[in-house]
Amino acid sequence: MAGAVAAAGSAEQLQELLQLRDRSLVVVHFWAPWAPQCAQMNEVMAALAKEHTQVTFVQLEAEAVPEVSEKYGISSVPTFLFFKNSQKVDRLDGAHAPELTKKVQRHISGTSLSPSSSDSTKEDLNARLKKLINAAPCMLFMKGSPKEPRCGFSKQIVEILNKHGVSFSSFDIFSDEEVRQGLKTYSNWPTYPQLYVNGELIGGLDIIKELEASGELDTICPKAQKLEDRLKSLINKAPVMLFMKGNKQMAKCGFSKQIIEIMNNTGIDYETFDILEDEEVRQGLKTFSNWPTYPQLYVKGELVGGLDIVKELKESGELLPVLKGEN
């Protein structure tokens, strides 16, 4: 069946295939018919099967063979396992076509790193992991994203952090197998999610639950800035601040375009904030300033107004003194 994708309907069939192809690479796709991303990856596998006829590609419906899925820790689809000599040698979680292609090519070529090359690769990975865990004061390594967690534990930890108003960034370990495996060794913590504060590992879900119960979580994790404080900080970010749709380079509505043209002709330095990039600021600032529309212009933290006000100030010759904070 060169160039084709085989289907295994049972654990026995999979075992037979692995033994049959003992010496060559076998790639098994654990998939589900209800997941559109699996259908896409099946197409990718079919293309790879034509290109690499020496590789055996197998589709296995994860929910039809629960004992196999459990044996290999398959908790989400799509997941790909790589076998050589009936032994699992690699794994890829998620619909990442470029990464799947890369791994297949790497295992075919059988490139074995020399010890010194392997050491330098490990050093590079450790440097990358250190950078990642310090990417924000509070970093969560999880399955999926806060909006779309892809396992129950990750979902629970996100709910706890949000409940306590914790400000955190996250990294989806399904997006990078190297990080997923490397961080387990780096932190000496075998499971996910993992929470870090100021580059230090706090722990997983059980630890976070304990910290929540003892009241320590609120003292350990940085709090999200209150919206009002954030808005005050933003309108005072520069002496002249314009909240608009788009930015100086590309206005995304006619009113914003007109106000930018007027501002640019004044020769006064100003900064902009794109309200389309942040729904919380977009809605919050309307209430905070009691001004229902955009653009909004602020000088030294005080609201000047929108396009009509700016046009009137320009006509009356008052715009320049207002922007300089003289009025």
Q: How far is 8 from 47, CA to CA, in rounded Å?
A: 19
* Residue 66 exposed, middle or buried by CB count within 10 Å (0-12, 13-18, 19+): exposed
> For the chain, what percent of residues have pLDDT higher than 70?
92
Contact 83, 24 (CB under 8 A): no
Tell me what pLDDT residue 254 has: 86
Which phi and psi angles does 82 have, rounded to 5°? -115, 130
Q: How far is 275 from 282, CA to CA, in rounded Å?
A: 5
Q: How far is 183 from 69, CA to CA, in rounded Å?
A: 23
Expressed in percent and rounded to 5, the helix, strand and coil fractions of the chain are 50, 20, 30
Into which CATH architecture does domain 228-324 fall? 3-Layer(aba) Sandwich (3.40)
Query: With bands split at pLDDT 50, 70 and 90, how would you rate the model's confidence at 115?
Result: very low
Tell me what pLDDT residue 21 has: 66
Contact 303, 296 (CB under 8 A): yes
Segment 119-150, tens digit of pLDDT? 555 667 888 899 899 888 899 999 988 888 98
> For the chain, what percent of residues have pLDDT higher than 90?
44
Positions of CATH 3.40.30.10 in the chain: 5-109, 120-220, 228-324
Of 172, 167, 161, 97, the C-alpha closest to 132 is 172
Q: Is the pTM higher than 0.95? A: no
pLDDT at 111 over 50: no
Q: Give me the mean pLDDT over the 49-59 stretch.
A: 90
The bridge status of strand 169-172 relative to strand 302-305 is unpaired
Tell me what pLDDT residue 116 has: 44
Tell me what pLDDT residue 85 has: 81
Tell me what pLDDT residue 224 has: 67
Into which CATH architecture does domain 5-109 fall? 3-Layer(aba) Sandwich (3.40)
The bridge status of strand 296-299 relative to strand 240-244 is antiparallel
Residues 6+ apart with CB under 8 A from 246: 252, 253, 256, 274, 276
Tell me what pLDDT residue 13 has: 81
Tell me what pLDDT residue 119 has: 54
Tell me what pLDDT residue 121 has: 58
Q: How far is 119 from 327, CA to CA, in rounded Å?
A: 65
Segment 211-268, tens digit of pLDDT? 999 999 988 987 766 788 889 999 999 999 999 998 888 888 889 999 999 999 999 9
Q: How far is 194 from 205, CA to CA, in rounded Å?
A: 8
Cα-based distances in Å from 120 to 89, 111, 134, 176: 21, 16, 21, 19
Tell me what pLDDT residue 114 has: 42
pLDDT at 303 over 70: yes
Q: Which two tokens stand for residue 42?
A: 């099946």
List 28's β-bridge partners, or say none.
58, 81
Domain 120-220 = CATH 3.40.30.10: yes
Tell me what pLDDT residue 113 has: 41
Tell me what pLDDT residue 209 has: 96
For the chain, the average pLDDT equals 87
Tell me what pLDDT residue 20 has: 75
